[in-house]
Chain A
Amino acid sequence: MISLSINGTRREVDVDPRMPLLWVLRDVLGLTGTKYGCGMAQCGACTVHLDGEPLRSCVTPVSSVAGKSVTTIEGLSSDGDHPVQTAWKELAVPQCGYCQVGQMMTAAALIAEVPDPTDDDIDAGMAGNICRCGTYPRIRAAIKQAAKEVSR
């Protein structure tokens, strides 16, 4: 058994220790908010937080996060009202939506560390999250709006 902390709750899972964290989240624990995109850390759709830092769960063996704190989109806020989620809704950021959970998780980690991000901060921090619909201008605007909300 591997003991995990997922969104503040202790979970015990009986899986191959090499199983990617993403598979455990989606297929074992039923937390399907986090998406499978490429399976090789190339697209960012599977991003979660590990001790507050963004992490590509698709290439992370579940045994390597035992004892650390994992946050998924389901745990980013209690009511879908994290400033990033609110800004995403207000600016209607998603188009197809598939990448947006990963985008929001990276954005939340970014503004937690950089309260007033410049375009350069956003370009550098978000470059590993790919959006095939090209919603980047709205993502950038929403990050700035969310950052303002956080520092208010």
Chain B
Amino acid sequence: MKESLRRRAAHLSVLALTPLCACSSGAENPDRAPALLTSDQKEALAAFDVVYEVLQHPRCVNCHPAGDRPLQFADGRLHAMNVQRGSDDRGRPGMRCATCHGSANPELPHLPPGVSTGWRLAPSEMVFEGLSKAELAGMLLDPKRSHMTPDELIEHVAHDPLVQWGWDPGPGREPVPVPHERFVAAFESWVEGGAPVPQGKR
């Protein structure tokens, strides 16, 4: 485990040098950088595109907001009723997530969805909202913000009921369009390929 992490770290340090190498030949052109990547790294970066697409979907972003208020609906507007994070990410006293969100999805639309582990926001450091690919990858790889190792992240995206809820969000809500199995496989490919951090601002 430690050895594989070190290997990943080595990959990362190589990639961190990439922009410096690319500077003299037009660093602003994002098409130039991939020429310096191995095929494994290219595959890993392509896999991260899938990861990014999923993690930027409102089913994921709405509870990984930049701030202390959850978002809601497909347009990611601020959650109604002044709902706030609270000290344990499960709401403020009087307005807890579980005050309205139960242990399962309701059968009818327009009602608060639910999940077996209880509704909650991601920790405030684990932001998805508004992040570029590079920023999102950087967050995931920073244990101070993601609170997980890469292997724990794979376990989280594969099995956490609140993650799986994104593909079974109850009536009236769009599930994440990328199939869950494809997302998990892409996450694994990204990690196994050294978890490269995409360059550029988009």
Using a CB–CB cutoff of 8 Å, the interface residues on chain A facing chain B are 18, 40-41, 47, 53-56, 59-61, 64, 106-107, 109-110, 113-114, 121, 123-128
Contact = CB atoms under 8 A, between A and B. Distances in A.
Contacts of B81: 127-128
Interface stretch (B1-9, B28-36, B96-104, B140-148): B96-104
Given A41-B112, A127-B83, A56 B99 contact: yes
A121 B96 CA distance: 13
A106 B95 CA distance: 8
Given A41-B111, A64-B104, A124 B99 contact: no
Contact of B82 (A54, A55, A113, A127): A127
5 contacts: A18-B107, A41-B111, A53-B96, A59-B112, A128-B95
Contacts of A60: 102
Interface of B: 81-84, 92-96, 98-100, 102-104, 106-107, 110-112
A129 to B, nearest CB: 8
Given A59-B100, A64-B104, A124 B111 contact: no
Contacts of A113: 93-94
A125 B103 contact: no
Contacts of A114: 93
Contacts, number: 65
A126 B100 contact: no
Nearest to B106: A59
Contacts of A126: 94-95
A112 B81 CA distance: 21
Nearest to A110: B94
Contacts of B103: 64
Contacts of A107: 94
A55 B98 contact: yes
Contacts of A64: 102-104
Given A18-B107, A40-B110, A59-B112, A127 B102 contact: no
Contacts of B99: 47, 53-56, 128
B100 A41 contact: yes
Nearest to B93: A113
Given A124-B82, A127-B82, A128-B81, A56 B100 contact: yes
Contacts of A40: 110-111
Contacts of A106: 94-95
Given A40-B111, A41-B111, A127 B104 contact: no
A108 to B, nearest CB: 9
A47 B96 CA distance: 12
Contact of B93 (A41, A109, A128): A109
A125 B111 contact: no
Nearest to A123: B82
5 closest A-B pairs by beta carbon, nearest first, are A125-B94, A110-B94, A127-B82, A113-B93, A41-B100
Contacts of B112: 41, 56, 59
A121 B84 CA distance: 11
B64 to A, nearest CB: 20
Contacts of B95: 54, 106, 124-128
A47 B112 CA distance: 15
